[in-house]
Amino acid sequence: MNHPDPAITPVLLVERDAGGVVRLTLNRPAQRNALSEELLRALKATLGELAADAGVRVLVLAGAGPAFCAGHDLKELRALPDEAAAGALFALCGEVMLALRRFPHPVIAQVHGVATAAGCQLVASCDMAVASDHARFATPGVNIGLFCSTPAVALTRNVAYKHAMEMLFTGELIDAGTAQRIGLVNRVLPTGDLDRHVRELAAQIASRPPAVLTLGKAAVQAQLGLNEADAYARMGAVMAQNLLMAEAVEGIDAFLEKRPPNW
């Protein structure tokens, strides 16, 4: 999935850990991992391949160099010839964010540095996020006259409206502790502990039955847009389906028999 020519540095690195954990690393460190069209296309293609890979259980998204992701490549944006070209690029970015949301397995963002604009959108599009205490987050488009409209889609689905609008209206950086408090990230770790902790967390989640996690992720997302009664109806049907799965039969039997499950 990396570029076949070893003389060319790939913009996206793919690493497979034991137990079905796959790590994707944005690899444009000199550009603070800005989302060029090339990187967006690499992400879209790789996510599609991994979604169909039966050996994948958990996906980790990280960044190389000092930043996690600084958003879109502004030089590339300024070079776009017209509104249609700009629309196509933002549509591609939206497809990548949806691919993360719809990825059949859990996705964890490992945020060691700054995540701004579409980089913050990447974090918000993952199922979970673990940040370094040095990480910072912002949707700063308003500072350059470009409101972060597409990042707002993911941001407003992660944090409360007033928190999201403060970030979007001011463009100010927030620290990792604030990001955790408002619900943008799950955990904050010292920088030196971040990689080890994320690997342990990913391995823990990967040890759970993958078919159950896939069923559960899809079901949770499907009920988000439903009213309460319809959501309970849908999720009750999912629970009934899940109860008859081999993983649940084995898990319940193991619990009752006081032994580890054999998945």
- Residue 69, judged by CB atoms within 10 A of its CB (0-12, 13-18, 19+), counts as buried
Residue with tokens 């944006």: 77
| Structural domain count, the chain | 2
**Residue 137 belongs to what H/E stretch?**
strand 136-138
Inside any domain, residue 38: yes
pLDDT at position 149, please? 97
Q: What angle do CA 139, 171, 25 make, to 5 degrees?
A: 30
pLDDT tens-digit profile of 9-34?
899 999 998 899 999 999 999 999 99
Does 45 share its domain with 133? yes
Nearest to 20 by CA among 51, 53, 55: 55
CA atoms within 13 A on the CB side of 173: 10
Say what the pLDDT of residue 4 is.
Answer: 43
Same domain, 78 and 109: yes
Q: Residue 97, class by beta-carbon neighbours within 10 Å (0-12 exposed, 13-18 middle, 19+ buried)? A: buried
Q: Residue 12: beta bridge partners?
A: 26
In a domain, 176, yes or no: yes
> Within 13 Å of residue 116, how many CA atoms lie on the same side as its CB?
24
Q: For residue 263, is it within any domain?
A: no
d(CA 87, CA 72): 13
Asked if the structure places residue 184 within a domain, the reply is: yes
136 and 251 belong to one structural domain: no
pLDDT value of position 9: 86
pLDDT at 100: 98
Kindly state whether residues 33 and 157 are assigned to the same domain: yes
Same-domain pairing of 56 and 170? yes
Domain check: are 49 and 18 in the same one?
A: yes
Q: Which two tokens stand for residue 254?
A: 């193991």
Residue 4 falls within a domain, yes or no?
A: no
Is 129 contained in some domain?
Answer: yes
Give the model's pLDDT for residue 2: 46
Residue 66 domain boundaries: 12-206
Residues 151 and 241 in one domain: no
Residue ranges in the chain modelled with pLDDT below 50 = 1-4, 6-7
Residues 250 and 159 in one domain: no
Could you tell me if 251 and 137 lie in one domain?
A: no
Q: Does 107 fall in a domain?
A: yes
Shared-domain flag, residues 79 and 194: yes
In a domain, 6, yes or no: no
pLDDT digits (tens, 9 = 90+) for 64-101: 999 999 999 999 999 999 999 999 999 999 999 999 99
The pLDDT score that the predictor gives to residue 263 is 84
Tell me, what CATH number does 97's domain have? Answer: 3.90.226.10
Same domain, 17 and 80: yes
| CB contact at 8 A, 154 and 96 | no
Q: Are residues 200 and 232 in the same domain?
A: no
Q: 73 with 52: CB under 8 angstroms?
A: no
